[in-house]
Amino acid sequence: MGLKEQIQNDLKEAMRKGDTFRRNTLRFLLSAIKQVEVDSRKELADQEIVKIIQKSLKQRQEAANQYRQGGREDLYEKEMQEAAILKEYLPAQLSDQELEEALRTIIQEVGATSMKEMGKVMGVATKRLAGRADGKRINAMAKRLLGD
């Protein structure tokens, strides 16, 4: 079963259980997926759906931070609950140790020895680790390994 079908099935289950919060979150996610499918005129693969989920998750986290700074704990909690639901559909994130090992392998493969070759490392790393590590984490770890 693909990721989109899983989300649709979970939406139906939330509707059966009367979980309106989860239902609304999943409807929003499915509408975002549908919008991209309509715009691109094609059925999205799971990797493309993961990118949409990551973008939506990032928006939720940024909004939550803004609400917290503004003293709106109620809205902060709502955004964080939505973020928790979205995280369920993302692949497991790499630990720092796993990320470091993967980056060391990539650095060896591309033959990078200094920060000047950061672009090569990031190009390969972002493709290979897509969905399993955030770009900021990859960048920070790569800088540390290449010797800031």
Could you give the angle at the alpha carbon of 63 between the alpha carbons of 59 and 66, nearest 5°?
145
Q: How far is 55 from 118, CA to CA, in rounded Å?
A: 24
Range of the domain at 74: 3-87
Predicted pLDDT at 78: 96
Q: How far is 85 from 81, CA to CA, in rounded Å?
A: 6
CB-count burial class (<10 Å; 0-12, 13-18, 19+) for 94:
buried
Q: In one letter, which amino acid is 11?
A: L
Q: Do 9 and 66 lie in a common domain?
A: yes
Name the domain count of the chain. Answer: 2
Within 10 Å of residue 82's Cβ, how many Cβ atoms?
Answer: 24
User: Residues 96-129: pLDDT tens digits?
Assistant: 899 999 999 999 998 888 888 888 889 999 888 8
Distance of CA 134 to the CA centre of its chain: 7
Q: How far is 61 from 91, CA to CA, in rounded Å?
A: 18
Predicted pLDDT at 148: 57
Q: Do 61 and 107 lie in a common domain?
A: no
C-alpha R_g of the chain: 18
Instruction: Give φ, ψ of 90 to 5 degrees.
Output: -95, 150
Q: Do 8 and 75 lie in a common domain?
A: yes
CATH code of the domain covering residue 132: 1.10.10.410
CATH code of the domain covering residue 77: 1.10.1510.10
Q: Do 110 and 65 lie in a common domain?
A: no
User: Residues 9-65: pLDDT tens digits?
Assistant: 999 999 999 999 999 999 999 999 999 999 999 999 988 998 899 899 999 999 999
Quote the pTM value. 0.76
Helix (H, G, I), strand (E, B) or coil at 93: coil
